[in-house]
A = this chain, B = another copy of it.
Amino acid sequence: MKRIMNAPESFVAESLAGLVRAHEALVAFGSDRKFVRRRHLTPGKVALIAGGGAGHEPMHSGFVGRGMLDAACTGHVFTSPTPDQIVAAMDETDTGAGCLLIVKNFDGDVMNFEMAAEMASGRHAIEMVVVEDDAATGAGVRSRGRRGMAGTMIVEKLIGAAAERGAGLADLRALGENLNRRIRSMGVALRGVTVPNNPRETFSLGPDEMEIGIGIHGEPGLQRARFTSADEIVRVLGERILAEIRAEMALGVRGRPLLLVNGFGGTPPIELYLAQGIAHRFFEENGIMPERSLTGTFVTSLDMAGMSITLALLDDAQVELWTAPVETPGLRW
């Protein structure tokens, strides 16, 4: 496995240094380089702190900036950041309105963010949102709930915009919980991924295989299947997303559909746009007309080939939060 890298030990640190260097008007390292933070904080705004293992860039460090996160804590590749990093980020970015921690639902991440919250609870008002959008792990498949996937970016964008407008800690947490019912994703891998310092692929796929319902750390999916056409792949992902979204609609969720096609790092834009068109048509044929869409490489699994599809049903206020200005290394409009 060839990577643009000097050594596995310095891979993550050097990449973060490049990001900070490239966007130094916007972001800076926190103390001891434990996290990436906004260069300029807004006093009185709730501090939004996310994080997770490296390998998912631009998430999360690339989502630090105006209209999105205040800090991102990055662990080793596919490994949670330590509580120590998260506490340091809270101490440095809480300007009085408290901290909201945005965490993908993976055991290690949830455990370390919870531990950090406990350690810092004497000094900070803290709330936590655990993002659960992976339709492949829905409805009783996984005892710890759905995993966090590319929908995390949507949650960070919307909560980021709401915080920028002055929403308080309780409202932001409520927004996150509301979004957990509105966003469903599902991914497919065409090629496994190799973690630096670990020569074994996280999983191996034959030349005619694909893995449906994969997680973003290369966790096994729902099903190993025979590789097939784009139409068929989108149909398989789309049907499960649809089933999960319809289950929420049956409980009263309504909204304007946003469709996100996200590349896992090794799949080029020409294929992602092709999938976007097919997914658009698939949902339309099933009575859901995507009103907005986004196509790109936002939540990766190193250079895994494959993609995820995310459908979100946003209410009017949430659509406004989505379209609000954002200026981060990885998302900008």
* Residues of A participating in the B interface, judged by any CB pair closer than 8 Å: 2-7, 11-12, 14-19, 21-23, 54-55, 57-58, 62, 190-191, 207, 210, 227, 229-231, 233, 259, 265-278, 280, 293-295, 297, 300, 302-303, 305, 307, 327, 329-330, 332-333
Bound complex: CA A54 to CA B297 (Å):
19
Q: A15-B274, A295-B22, A332-B332 known; A305 and B268 CB under 8 Å?
A: no
Main secondary structure of the interface of A (DSSP, over half): mixed
A266: nearest residue on chain B (CB-CB)?
A: B266
B15 lies within 8 A of A273 (CB): yes
Partner of A269, one of B5, B191, B300: B300
- How far apart sit A330 and B294, CA to CA, in the bound complex (Å)? 11
Cβ-defined partner of A55 (8 Å) among B7, B57, B270, B278: B270
**A4 and B274 form a contact (CB under 8 A):** yes
A24 closest partner in B (C-beta): B293
- List 30 A-B residue pairs with CB atoms under 8 Å apart, sorted by A's residue number: A2-B207, A4-B190, A4-B267, A4-B272, A4-B275, A5-B230, A5-B271, A11-B274, A12-B270, A14-B230, A14-B278, A18-B274, A18-B276, A19-B277, A19-B295, A21-B276, A21-B293, A22-B273, A22-B277, A22-B295, A57-B270, A265-B269, A266-B268, A267-B303, A268-B297, A268-B303, A270-B300, A295-B329, A303-B305, A327-B333
